[in-house]
């Protein structure tokens, strides 16, 4: 069945770009404040628990074997006062436990045996130092920033510098808002969150390129020296509306998949699915409003300067 209401949309997106700027600005400020409080010593100074996982801060990594489901193991660690990341590795009854608390592996095993009432075999125990965690954190941030810079140069060559800058700003916009919402709920940032943010960047830039390509196609039909500001705004609206059906359908189907993953993927996949669920919505919004709005306003400013 065809989605008829999207056959010939005529929505004035560019006429509402000031509202979009206000919404984006508000969400970015909230996101930045949340990230500063959750991921820096500033939050610790006012009593907030830092949201970096042991992947970045250091801690203990223990691998055990026990004849019990993962939920029982997780509940047992919580009863011991340990907030741990637990996942199956290898066989069904092999578990990898990561935690920050200063609890020796032997003590953890004895505590689990007491609560579960079953024999627990300790297969591996490692200690991740804070220095290694800090290095991983720096590399993850650098990797994300480098990815954004490479995308900037690609779009610069593929389209023009205005689209390149606008698309890169939109990606920063998506990452800050999505990561900020994630940290606002107090969820920990681990390697799966970084992987999800990089996945989001790839998804969002693909959507932005589709819109940018259509805008360039529509602009190519006119001699811009003869185009009025109203005409230019209409060209951008027509271009966005012409891709709206593809954008909405693609985003909706992607959202359904990641939302189901969020509901039923379990604790191991929760962070990844949460980032993508929020990110799909934010990325779709930025592809429609942020990229095109920035390019339009820069072009309008250029037209005024020429006059």
- Residue ranges of domains in the chain: 4-42+132-306, 59-128
Q: In this model, does residue 35 exceed pLDDT 50?
A: yes
- Pairing verdict, β 94-99 and 59-66: antiparallel
Same topology, domains 4-42+132-306 and 59-128? Answer is no
- For residues 10 and 293, the model is more confident at 293
What distance in Å separates the CA atoms of residue 186 and residue 48, rounded to the nearest whole number? 9
Question: Which range, of 93-107, 134-148, 184-198, averages the lowest pLDDT?
Answer: 134-148
What distance in Å separates the CA atoms of residue 233 and residue 222, rounded to the nearest whole number? 13
- Pairing verdict, β 59-66 and 84-88: unpaired
Structure confidence at residue 7 (pLDDT): 65
Reported CATH class of domain 59-128? alpha beta
How far from chain centre, in Å, is Cα 208? 16
Structure confidence at residue 1 (pLDDT): 44
Task: For residue 106, give every residue at least 6 positions away whose Cβ sits within 8 Å of its Cβ, in sequence order, or none.
Answer: 122
Neighbours of 103 (CB within 10 A): 17
Strand order in the sheet with 94-99: 84-88, 94-99, 59-66, 120-128
Q: Which of 181, 187, 177 has its CA nearest to residue 283?
A: 177
Structure confidence at residue 49 (pLDDT): 63
What distance in Å separates the CA atoms of residue 14 and residue 297, rounded to the nearest whole number? 10
| pTM (two decimals) | 0.79
Average pLDDT, the chain: 83
Task: For residue 18, give every residue at least 6 positions away whose Cβ sits within 8 Å of its Cβ, in sequence order, or none.
Answer: none
H helix or E strand, kind and range, residue 76? helix 70-79
* Superfamily for domain range 4-42+132-306: Multidrug efflux transporter AcrB transmembrane domain (1.20.1640.10)
Q: Are the C-beta atoms of residues 215 and 293 closer than 8 Å to each other?
A: no
Could you write out the DSSP letters of every residue in 20-33?
HHHHHHHHHHHHHH
* Whole-Å CA distances, 249 to 95, 246, 260: 39, 5, 17
- For residues 146 and 57, the model is more confident at 146
What distance in Å separates the CA atoms of residue 21 and residue 294, rounded to the nearest whole number? 9
Structure confidence at residue 145 (pLDDT): 80
Residue 149 confidence class, pLDDT cut points 50, 70, 90: confident
3-class SS at 7? Answer: coil
Q: pLDDT per residue over 261-301, tens digit each?
A: 999 887 778 889 999 999 999 999 998 888 889 988 888 88
Long-range contacts of the stretch 6-9 (C-beta < 8 A, 24+): 6/244, 6/245, 6/248, 6/249, 7/245, 9/241, 9/244, 9/245
Q: Are the C-beta atoms of residues 87 and 101 closer than 8 Å to each other?
A: no
What distance in Å separates the CA atoms of residue 275 and residue 182, rounded to the nearest whole number? 7
Per-residue DSSP letter, 52:
B
Percent of the chain scoring above 70 in pLDDT? 89
């Amino acid at each position: 069945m065809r989605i008829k209401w999207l056959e010939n949309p005529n929505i004035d997106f560019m006429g509402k770009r000031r509202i979009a700027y206000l919404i984006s600005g508000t969400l970015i400020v909230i996101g930045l404040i949340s990230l500063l409080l959750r991921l820096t010593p500033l939050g610790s100074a006012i009593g907030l628990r830092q949201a970096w996982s042991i992947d970045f801060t250091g801690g203990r990594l223990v691998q055990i074997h026990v004849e019990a489901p993962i939920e029982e193991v997780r509940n047992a660690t919580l009863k011991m006062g340990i907030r741990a990341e637990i996942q199956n590795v290898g066989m069904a009854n092999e578990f990898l436990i990561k935690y920050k608390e200063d609890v020796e592996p032997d003590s953890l095993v004895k505590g689990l045996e007491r609560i579960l009432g079953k024999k627990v075999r300790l297969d591996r125990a490692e200690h991740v130092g804070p220095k290694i965690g800090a290095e991983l954190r720096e590399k993850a941030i650098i990797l994300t920033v480098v990815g954004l810079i490479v995308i900037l140069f690609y779009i610069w060559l593929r389209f023009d510098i205005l689209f390149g800058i606008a698309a890169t700003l939109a990606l920063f916009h998506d990452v800050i808002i999505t990561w900020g919402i994630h940290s606002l709920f107090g969820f920990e940032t681990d390697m799966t969150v970084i992987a999800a943010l990089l996945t989001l960047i790839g998804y969002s830039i693909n959507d932005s390129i589709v819109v940018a390509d259509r805008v360039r196609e529509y602009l190519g039909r006119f001699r811009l020296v003869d185009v009025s500001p109203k005409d230019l705004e209409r060209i951008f609206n027509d271009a966005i509306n012409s891709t709206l059906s593809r954008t909405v359908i693609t985003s909706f189907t992607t959202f359904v998949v990641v939302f189901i993953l969020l509901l039923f993927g379990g604790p191991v996949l929760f962070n990844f699915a949460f980032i993508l669920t929020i990110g799909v919505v934010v990325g779709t919004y930025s592809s429609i409003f942020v990229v095109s709005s920035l390019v339009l306003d820069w072009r309008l400013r250029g037209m005024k300067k020429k006059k």
